[in-house]
C-alpha cells in the first residue's frame, strides 16, 4: 500500500497532467515540423534509385520509432492515472512496497520501486543484446 498523502497525490497528478500535455505538444510539433515533405520529395524524384528508396525507408523507420516512444510515454501516463484511480499508485507492482515520493516526483509514471526497477533492468538488459 502506498504511503502518499493527499497533497503528494495532488502534486503527482499535476506532474502527470503536465507530462501528458508536454508529450501531446511534442507530437503536434513533430507533425508540423516534419510535414513529411522530405519523404514525398524523395519518393517523387525521377528516376528513383535504390539509395533514395533506402533513405526514405530509413527516415520512415526513424519517425516510426520516435512516435512509438511518444505513444509508449502516453500509455505510461494513462497507466499511472489508472493506478491512481484504483488506489494502487505509488505501490511497486513487483514487491508491493511503497515507491518513494522522491522517485515519483522524478518519474511520476514509475510502477516499480528503485530496487525492483534496477533488478528488472539487470534481468532484461540482456534481452536486447545480440549474442554470438
Quick check: 47 pLDDT over 50?
Answer: no
Check residue 58 and give its pLDDT.
57
**Chain position carrying cell 511520476:** 108
Residue 90: phi and psi, rounded to 5, are: 90, 0
pTM of the model: 0.72
Quick check: 32 pLDDT over 60?
Answer: yes
Q: How does residue 108 score in pLDDT terms, banded at 50, 70 and 90?
A: very high
Which of 44-53, 80-89, 119-128 reaches the highest mean pLDDT?
Answer: 80-89
Would you say 98 and 1 are in contact if contact means Cβ atoms under 8 Å apart?
Answer: yes
93: DSSP letter: T
Would you say 99 and 107 are in contact if contact means Cβ atoms under 8 Å apart?
Answer: no
Q: Which domains does the chain have, with CATH numbers?
A: 6-128 (1.20.120.910)
Distance between CA atoms of residues 70 and 105, nearest Å: 20
Amino acid at each position: 500500500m502506498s504511503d502518499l498523502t493527499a497533497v503528494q497525490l495532488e502534486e503527482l497528478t499535476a506532474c502527470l497532467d503536465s507530462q501528458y500535455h508536454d508529450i501531446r505538444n511534442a507530437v503536434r510539433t513533430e507533425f508540423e515540423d516534419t510535414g513529411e515533405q522530405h519523404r514525398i520529395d524523395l519518393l517523387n524524384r525521377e528516376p528513383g534509385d535504390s539509395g533514395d528508396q533506402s533513405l526514405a525507408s530509413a527516415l520512415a523507420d526513424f519517425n516510426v520509432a520516435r512516435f512509438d516512444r511518444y505513444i509508449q510515454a502516453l500509455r505510461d501516463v494513462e497507466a499511472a492515472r489508472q493506478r491512481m484511480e484504483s488506489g494502487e499508485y505509488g505501490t511497486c507492482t513487483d514487491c508491493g512496497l511503497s515507491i518513494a515520493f522522491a522517485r515519483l516526483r522524478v518519474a511520476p509514471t514509475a510502477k516499480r520501486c528503485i530496487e525492483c526497477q534496477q533488478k528488472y533492468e539487470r534481468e532484461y538488459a540482456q534481452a536486447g543484446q545480440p549474442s554470438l
